[in-house]
Amino acid sequence: MAKKTGKTSKLLVVAASAVIMLVLVAVLAPWISPYDPLAQDILARLKGPSAAHWLGADQFGRDLLSRLIHGLRASLGISAAAVIVALLIGGTLGLVAAYYRGWTERIVMR
């Protein structure tokens, strides 16, 4: 059994820092992405990582870092919406089960 010393876990700090960093990158995506994620540059087609394109370019010459940053924005938005919907549905069902008790509680909690 772990001791409760009142100290914050190092793993918690690292994980929380990573989540905060990802959220900041997603929020600031339009300002920090080096290129437009949809802009095509045929000369940079299928290039590997370089100073100009840190993660390289795809078959259409689009910068992969910019696409990754903007994709993070969409992914976090969808996951936040899913969590909010689950919270609303679960919270409502839990309140109904707690209020009515009896057979309603048994049905909802199964």
Entry pTM: 0.74
Tell me the C-alpha to C-alpha distance, in Å, between residue 2 and each of 9, 12, 15, 30, 71.
Answer: 11, 15, 19, 44, 39
Question: What is the pLDDT averaged over residues 73-79?
Answer: 94
101 band by pLDDT with thresholds 50, 70 and 90? confident
Question: What is the pLDDT averaged over residues 54-81?
Answer: 95
56 vs 52: CA distance, rounded Å = 8
Question: What is the pLDDT averaged over residues 6-15?
Answer: 88
CB of 40 closer than 8 Å to CB of 46? no
